[in-house]
């Protein structure tokens, strides 16, 4: 907690003593009540369900029901992903029960400790099981009912669990809302794509039958999934849980156990046994005979027969989406070579046609890129909450997508969220498109014998690891010479944000007699090409195409290819490159040698979809992120209360009444001649995130303490919304702060600490917005643990949540990212930007240049207590025409650049070449380097806040 205000007078001291006594009394009560019930309980049970329709045999499902402290409450059914069990979703269950839901998790048949065989979400098996679990919820007194036998229930889950949510909503009328995550619409289209396409974000999708119904087998992914069901069931329990890609390690730390312990099972729980050794030894492991036969069929020759196609459709949501009418939130990853954006698009269109309201989010994750983070999980919980309780805002037919930008200095990608008016194409509106001309003559592409070597488009499940490294990405996107036709555009003049599925029309013909009359299998992909020639394959996604029976006379067939949906900003100066190859290691490719003539058809352009929108200034839904608040520390607010009780008022400067902060001629001197702050003046406007930057000892914290009324200035004044700051000034109630450490009471939980501090302010509890602050803190169930068990990062997050209680107009944070890991720092930046975008103001004090540069819109640079610069970050950091180049031979690059006309100077700094181009285009400098044989890995404008800072304060100087 920030330092205590120095109150003057007996009345102030008496009030402070009363406040301290109240705190101690409350603390004593909490300390003594060590047997208080936990925030929720967990009940384990084994539930018997029918093994098959009409069968007397039974399957045992291992379940856990999480029950909040207030019941009856709406329920959420939470199935797991393929290869997991009920413990795989323990973190999500605890977050949802923390929101007040009864949550039922379970291990699907064939997984964990549940018995039975895997039917891939067969309506007669897994879907029927889930419906019987809804029966179980309807009989529980803890669950809110709509009527007898009909619980208020939603379903959410990822991948396999997401498909179960869709299938259950289409077969059981009792389901009220669903939120499927990174799942599929049709397994036949997902595993054998580019047959009769399920659709794309595009109003010109080819009609079914434009390609062969056979599709092209996605053998790498299918083999991985099949292997997950071959072995015996895994032992259950938290120790068996492995973190999923993208998990926050600190969150995982708390995800394994159930806070408060387990209260016991509703049914006696002799744990279900593992499948028998005979079952584990079967050729198809835990799969049903039907699934085993289907995999054997398609894996043998890469083509699915009618029985296999019928089975895949039967166990897919496409079989029931015409009956799904409940509110649906579809969350799909843009880094997903298993279930691409086309699968979510098909679900969205079909559910809309059935009369359901659909919201769609595309996030920077997926089976290749990781599960949703805490912020997106909160959005999903908000959606369920709105439709199960009526709380909050969650309009239908909304669409938001994440755009991943360049890497920051710490190696993490920048991400911004764009919200559109609605998901395109659902109600007949055409999708906006841009045609980009491609150049290239007819080319011959050959498939070698055995299809070896094969092109590489990525490694399924690992693509996200290498996607952000141009060097590694190049190793995993390879097109062997002679195996592909290539067509390239001119560099684009301005950024093109591709949002959805591009299309292109090709002419394909047999180049030799041997392939005439045969099917042609091709692989089409669209690269983003940097000016230096390096390429990136967005999402590592490709479109496999099977063209049936090429003409015997060698004439070409015209085909329109819908490429995978992506979200990719193609920057100015970059080009698009279309590659049509004959092999790919991730797919089943014919092994006979073949040769094809390939050329562009139509207008020789690739058509890319654009979905205009606005960068979100507040999260989804808006009310949650507008609920961010701040508060002064408890004793400081005691002073505010004392001032209010004395009915003290201050005159308002009408010209500054709407200005958050004005500092004029501020000076703070101490006895002995030390001047910590000297003649400091600056102004902060609404909507700004201002960074107070300076080395340690520059006077930043002293300035903040004067701003908070903790100490008085020697000279000058501070005005907040037109009122002069002084100890106990009423306007301090409009400021939220985190300055000089948190000082939480270690024997209380995080939530209890926040409530205790707020109670000391004397303000109504409903104004605190505790729920929003706790969600922002991102501590999950750990918020109910005692603070003494917290890590430094957890304490820091709780302190920031404390500062955000009560919706302050001015938020003041001193070194807010101390103790946070990179994902938490990224989340904090986004929170601060959104907070300022609502019209409020944020002041961040930091000595970290990178944090100020990436977080703040404006900066004030202090040195030895004085102002040395102020203004927008871009203005301070501007370096004119300077550019930076990462090359393989820096010394040679410097010589080449110095000999290039127009380059003023060039030098090497820490392995990076910096040059003053004096107006010369960077592309010309890159071309000069490439001509000289220098490999350019990266080129861009030089970010110079660090240089500006060192120039302003003096490199190497130490502050006193």
Which residues in 113-235 belong to E strands, given as ranges? 145-147, 150-151, 153-158, 175-181
Q: Predicted confidence band at 875 (pLDDT cuts at 50, 70, 90)? A: low
| Superfamily classification of domain 627-873 | P-loop containing nucleotide triphosphate hydrolases (3.40.50.300)
pLDDT digits (tens, 9 = 90+) for 682-692: 999 988 888 88
List of long-range contacts for 872-876, beta carbons under 8 Å, 24+ apart: 873/691, 873/945, 876/945, 876/948
In this prediction, residues 186-206 reach a mean pLDDT of 60
Lowest mean pLDDT among 279-288, 797-806, 926-935: 279-288
| Superfamily classification of domain 432-610 | Galactose-binding domain-like (2.60.120.260)
As a whole number of angstroms, the distance between CA 277 and CA 44 comes to: 26
Are the CB atoms for 249 and 375 separated by under 8 Å? no
Q: Which pair of structure tokens corresponds to residue 625?
A: 């992120």
| Of 745, 642, 741, the residue nearest 25 (C-alpha) | 745
Query: Does 14 score more than 50 pLDDT?
Result: no
Q: CA neighbours within 13 Å on the CB side: how many for 762?
A: 15
Query: Does 430 score more than 80 pLDDT?
Result: no
In this prediction, residues 410-417 reach a mean pLDDT of 64
Domain boundaries, the chain: 40-420, 432-610, 627-873, 880-953
Are the CB atoms for 112 and 95 separated by under 8 Å? no
Question: Spelled out in words, what is the top-level CATH class assigned to the domain 40-420?
Answer: alpha beta
Strand pairing category for 557-562 and 503-510 = antiparallel
Lowest mean pLDDT among 43-47, 558-562, 911-915: 911-915
HEC states along 306-371? HHHHHHHHHCCHHHCHHHCCCCEEEEEECCCCCCCHHHHHHHHHHHHHCCCCEEEEEECCECCCEC
Which residues in 496-621 belong to E strands, given as ranges? 496-500, 503-510, 520-529, 535-536, 543-547, 557-562, 566-570, 575-581, 594-600, 605-610, 614-615
In this prediction, residues 941-947 reach a mean pLDDT of 59
In this prediction, residues 772-785 reach a mean pLDDT of 75
Query: Does 259 score more than 50 pLDDT?
Result: no
Q: Predicted confidence band at 390 (pLDDT cuts at 50, 70, 90)? A: confident
Are the CB atoms for 813 and 845 separated by under 8 Å? yes
Q: Predicted confidence band at 835 (pLDDT cuts at 50, 70, 90)? A: confident
Res 265: pLDDT: 29
Calculate what percentage of the chain has a pLDDT beyond 70: 77
In this prediction, residues 883-889 reach a mean pLDDT of 85
pLDDT digits (tens, 9 = 90+) for 620-632: 443 433 333 443 4
Q: Which pair of structure tokens corresponds to residue 709?
A: 């009324």
Q: Predicted confidence band at 641 (pLDDT cuts at 50, 70, 90)? A: very low
In this prediction, residues 930-954 reach a mean pLDDT of 70
Among 30-34, 502-506, 751-755, the range with the most confident prediction by mean pLDDT is 502-506
On the question of a common fold for 40-420 and 627-873, the answer reads yes
Res 776: pLDDT: 62
Identify the CATH assignment for 880-953 out of 3.40.50.740, 3.20.20.70, 3.40.50.300, 3.30.70.100: 3.30.70.100
Res 261: pLDDT: 32
pLDDT digits (tens, 9 = 90+) for 699-716: 888 898 888 888 889 999
Give the chain's mean pLDDT: 79
Q: How far is CA 389 from the centre of its chain?
A: 26
Res 925: pLDDT: 85
Among 40-44, 105-109, 752-756, 866-870, the range with the most confident prediction by mean pLDDT is 105-109
């Amino acid at each position: 907690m920030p330092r205590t205000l120095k109150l003057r007078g007996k009345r102030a001291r008496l009030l402070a003593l009363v406040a301290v006594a109240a705190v101690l009394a409350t603390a004593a009560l909490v300390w003594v009540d060590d047997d208080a019930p936990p925030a929720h309980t967990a009940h384990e049970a084994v539930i018997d369900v029918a093994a098959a329709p009409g069968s007397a045999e039974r399957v045992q499902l291992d379940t856990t029901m999480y029950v909040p402290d207030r019941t009856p409450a709406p329920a959420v059914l939470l199935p797991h992903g393929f290869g997991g069990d009920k413990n795989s979703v323990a973190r999500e269950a605890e977050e949802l029960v923390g929101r007040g839901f009864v949550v039922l998790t379970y291990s699907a048949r064939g997984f964990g400790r549940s018995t039975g065989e895997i039917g891939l979400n067969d309506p007669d098996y897994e879907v029927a099981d889930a419906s019987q679990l809804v029966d179980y919820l309807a009989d529980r007194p803890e669950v809110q009912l709509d009527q007898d036998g009909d619980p208020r229930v939603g379903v959410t889950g990822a991948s396999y669990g997401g498909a179960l949510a869709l299938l259950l909503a289409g077969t059981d009328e009792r389901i009220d809302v669903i939120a499927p995550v990174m799942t599929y619409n049709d397994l036949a289209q997902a595993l054998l794509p580019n047959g009769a396409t399920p659709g794309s974000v595009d109003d010109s999708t080819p009609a079914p039958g434009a390609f062969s119904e056979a599709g092209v087998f996605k053998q790498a992914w299918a083999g991985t999934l099949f292997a997950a069901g071959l072995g015996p069931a895994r032992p259950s329990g938290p120790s068996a849980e492995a973190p999923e890609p993208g998990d926050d390690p600190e969150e995982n730390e708390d995800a394994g156990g159930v806070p408060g312990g387990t209260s016991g099972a509703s049914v006696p729980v002799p744990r279900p046994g593992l499948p028998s050794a005979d079952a584990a030894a079967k050729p198809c492991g835990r799969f049903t005979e039907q699934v085993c036969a289907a995999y054997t069929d398609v894996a043998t020759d890469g083509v699915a027969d009618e029985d296999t196609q019928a089975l895949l459709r039967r166990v897919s949501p496409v079989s029931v989406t015409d009956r799904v009418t409940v509110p649906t939130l579809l969350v799909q990853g843009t880094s997903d070579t298993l279930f691409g954006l086309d699968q979510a698009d098909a679900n969205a269109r079909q559910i809309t046609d059935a009369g359901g309201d659909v919201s769609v989010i595309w996030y920077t994750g997926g089976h290749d890129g990781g599960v949703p983070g805490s912020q997106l999980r909160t959005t999903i919980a908000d959606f369920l909450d709105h439709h199960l309780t009526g709380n909050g805002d969650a309009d239908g037919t909304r669409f938001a997508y994440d755009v991943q930008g360049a890497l920051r200095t710490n190696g993490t990608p920048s991400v911004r969220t764009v919200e559109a008016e609605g998901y395109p194409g659902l109600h007949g509106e055409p999708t906006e498109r841009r045609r980009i001309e491609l150049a290239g003559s007819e080319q011959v592409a050959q498939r070698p014998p055995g299809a070896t070597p094969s092109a590489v488009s990525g490694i399924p499940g690992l693509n996200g690891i290498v996607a952000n490294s141009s060097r590694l990405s190049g190793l995993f996107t390879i097109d062997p010479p002679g195996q592909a036709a290539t067509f390239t555009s001119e560099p684009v003049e301005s950024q093109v944000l591709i949002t959805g599925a591009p299309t292109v029309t090709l002419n394909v013909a047999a180049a030799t007699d041997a392939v005439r009359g045969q099917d042609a299998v091709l692989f089409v992909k669209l690269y983003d090409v940097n000016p230096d020639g390096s390429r990136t394959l967005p999402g590592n996604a490709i479109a496999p195409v099977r063209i049936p029976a090429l003409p015997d006379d060698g004439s070409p067939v015209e085909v329109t290819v819908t490429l995978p949906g992506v979200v990719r900003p193609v920057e100015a100066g970059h080009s698009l490159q279309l590659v049509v190859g004959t092999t790919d290691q991730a797919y089943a490719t014919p092994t006979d040698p073949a040769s094809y003539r390939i050329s562009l058809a139509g207008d020789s352009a690739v058509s890319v979809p654009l979905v205009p929108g606005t960068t979100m200034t507040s999260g989804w839904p808006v009310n949650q992120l507008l609920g961010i608040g701040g508060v002064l520390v408890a004793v400081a607010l005691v002073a505010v209360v004392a001032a209010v009780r004395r009915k003290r008022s201050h005159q308002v400067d009408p010209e500054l009444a709407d200005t958050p902060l004005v500092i004029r001629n501020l000076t703070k001197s101490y006895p002995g001649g030390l001047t910590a702050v000297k003649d400091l003046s600056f102004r902060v406007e609404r909507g700004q995130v201002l960074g107070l930057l300076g080395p340690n000892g520059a006077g930043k914290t002293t300035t903040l303490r004067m701003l908070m009324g903790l100490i008085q200035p020697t000279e000058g004044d501070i005005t907040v919304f037109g009122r002069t700051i002084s100890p106990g000034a009423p306007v301090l109630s409009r400021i939220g702060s985190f300055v000089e450490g948190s000082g939480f009471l270690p024997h209380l939980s995080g939530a209890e600490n926040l409530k205790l501090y707020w109670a000391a302010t004397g303000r109504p509890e409903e104004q605190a917005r505790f729920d929003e602050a706790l969600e922002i803190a991102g501590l999950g169930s750990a918020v109910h643990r005692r603070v003494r068990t917290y890590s430094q990062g957890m304490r820091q997050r709780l302190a920031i949540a404390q500062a955000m209680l009560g919706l302050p107009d001015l938020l003041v944070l001193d070194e807010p990212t101390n103790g946070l890991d990179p994902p938490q720092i990224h989340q904090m930046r986004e929170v601060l930007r959104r907070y300022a975008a609502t019209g409020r103001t944020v002041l961040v004090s930091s000595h970290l240049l990178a944090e100020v540069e990436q977080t703040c819109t404006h900066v004030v640079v202090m040195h030895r207590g004085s102002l040395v610069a102020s203004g927008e970050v871009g203005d301070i950091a501007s370096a004119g025409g300077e550019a930076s180049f990462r090359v393989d031979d820096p010394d040679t690059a410097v010589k080449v650049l110095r000999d290039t006309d127009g380059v003023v100077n060039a030098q090497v700094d820490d392995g990076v070449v910096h040059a003053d181009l004096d107006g010369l285009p960077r592309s010309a400098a890159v071309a000069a380097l490439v001509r000289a044989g220098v490999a350019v890995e990266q080129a861009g404008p030089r970010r110079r806040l660090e240089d500006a800072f060192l120039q302003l304060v003096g490199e190497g100087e130490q502050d006193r």
